[in-house]
C-alpha cells in the first residue's frame, strides 16, 4: 500500500514583499507549500493575496504606516513562542504595523476566520521590523547582490532571496489572478490613476505659484534698478 505524502510542516515565517515601493503597490504573489500542513490550499492563499491587493489599492487614503518597503509577514504562533516574541510582537511592529481602514478590517477578518484557527497570524510590517522578527543579521543587505543569476529578476525577488534562509520556502510559479480579482484590480488601478492626476495637478499648481512669485520678485528687482 502506498503511504500518503505528508505536507512539509510550516516552521518559519512566510514573507511577501511589495512589488515596488509605495503605499498603493501590490504584494508579491507566491505560494508557501508549508501552508498545506495547516489545511490552507494554494487557491485560498492566492485569493487572500489578490483580495488584499485590491483592498489596499482601493483604500482612499491607505491606512498603513510605512508601507514603503513593506512586507506581509505570516508567522506561525508557535514560532513566536519558541523565539520568545509572543509578548513583544506588537511593540516590534510598532508604527509600521497596520493602522486603521479597510486593510485593517480585511486582515482582522482573515486572521479570525482563516489564519487564526490554524495557529497563524498575518500582519503588514516594515522591512526593518520583519528582519528583526526573522532574526536576519543586520550586516546582511536587504536585497540579494546583483550577479549573472539575479541581474534580470525584479526587486521583490531579490528581497525574497535575501531572507530565504530565514523564512519559509516559496514557490513563485503560480496561476494568474482570477477573472474577478483582475476586474477588481482594474477598478483599483483607475482609482490610483485618478489620485495620480490629482496629485499631479497639485504639484503643477505649486510650481505655477512658485514661478509667479519668482517672476514678481524679478519685476520688483528690475523696477528698483531702473530708478
Residue 50: which residues within 8 A CB-CB, separation 6 or more?
Answer: 29, 177, 178, 181, 185
Give CA–CA dist 50/52, Å, rounded. 5
The set of cell numbers assigned to 218 is: 524679478
pLDDT at residue 16 greater than cutoff 80: yes
The set of cell numbers assigned to 4 is: 500518503
Residue 208: which residues within 8 A CB-CB, separation 6 or more?
Answer: none
Question: What mean pLDDT, rounded, does the chain reach?
Answer: 66
CB-CB contact of 69 with 18 (8 Å): yes
CB-CB contact of 131 with 167 (8 Å): no
Mean pLDDT score, 163-191: 67
Among candidate residues 30, 15, 118, the one with its CA nearest the CA of residue 74:
15
CB atoms within 10 A of CB 162: 20
Question: Is the pTM here over 0.75, yes or no?
Answer: no
pLDDT at residue 41 greater than cutoff 80: yes
Q: What are the pLDDT digits (tens) for 87-142?
A: 333 334 433 344 346 677 778 888 888 888 888 888 887 778 878 888 888 777 67
pLDDT at residue 217 greater than cutoff 80: no
Q: CA-based angle 113:115:120, to the nearest 5?
A: 145
Q: Name the band, by pLDDT with cuts 50, 70 and 90, for residue 76.
A: very low
pLDDT at residue 39 greater than cutoff 60: yes
Give CA–CA dist 187/83, Å, rounded. 41
CB atoms within 10 A of CB 170: 19
Domains of the chain: which residue ranges? 14-177, 178-227
- The pLDDT score that the predictor gives to residue 142 is 73
- The pLDDT score that the predictor gives to residue 176 is 82
- The pLDDT score that the predictor gives to residue 124 is 82
Alpha-carbon distance values, 67 to 8, 81, 95, 108, 112 (Å): 31, 26, 10, 18, 23
Amino acid at each position: 500500500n502506498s503511504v500518503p505524502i505528508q505536507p512539509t510542516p510550516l516552521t518559519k515565517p512566510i514573507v511577501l514583499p511589495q512589488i515596488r515601493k509605495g503605499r498603493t503597490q501590490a504584494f508579491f504573489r507566491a505560494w508557501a507549500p508549508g501552508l498545506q500542513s495547516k489545511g490552507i490550499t494554494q487557491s485560498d492563499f492566492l485569493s487572500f493575496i489578490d483580495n488584499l491587493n485590491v483592498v489596499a489599492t482601493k483604500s482612499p487614503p491607505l491606512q498603513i504606516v510605512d508601507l514603503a518597503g513593506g512586507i506581509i509577514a505570516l508567522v506561525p504562533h508557535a514560532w513566536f513562542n519558541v523565539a520568545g516574541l509572543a509578548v513583544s510582537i506588537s511593540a516590534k511592529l510598532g508604527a509600521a504595523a497596520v493602522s486603521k481602514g479597510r486593510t485593517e478590517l480585511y486582515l482582522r477578518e482573515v486572521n479570525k476566520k482563516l489564519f487564526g484557527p490554524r495557529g497563524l497570524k498575518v500582519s503588514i510590517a516594515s522591512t526593518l521590523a520583519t528582519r528583526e522578527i526573522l532574526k536576519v543579521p543586520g550586516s546582511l543587505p536587504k536585497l540579494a547582490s546583483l550577479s549573472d543569476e539575479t541581474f534580470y529578476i525584479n526587486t521583490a525577488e531579490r528581497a525574497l532571496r535575501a531572507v530565504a534562509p530565514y523564512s519559509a520556502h516559496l514557490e513563485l510559479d503560480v496561476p494568474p489572478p482570477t477573472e474577478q480579482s483582475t476586474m477588481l484590480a482594474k477598478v483599483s488601478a483607475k482609482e490610483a490613476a485618478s489620485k495620480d492626476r490629482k496629485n499631479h495637478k497639485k504639484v503643477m499648481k505649486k510650481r505655477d505659484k512658485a514661478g509667479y512669485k519668482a517672476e514678481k520678485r524679478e519685476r520688483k528687482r528690475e523696477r528698483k534698478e531702473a530708478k
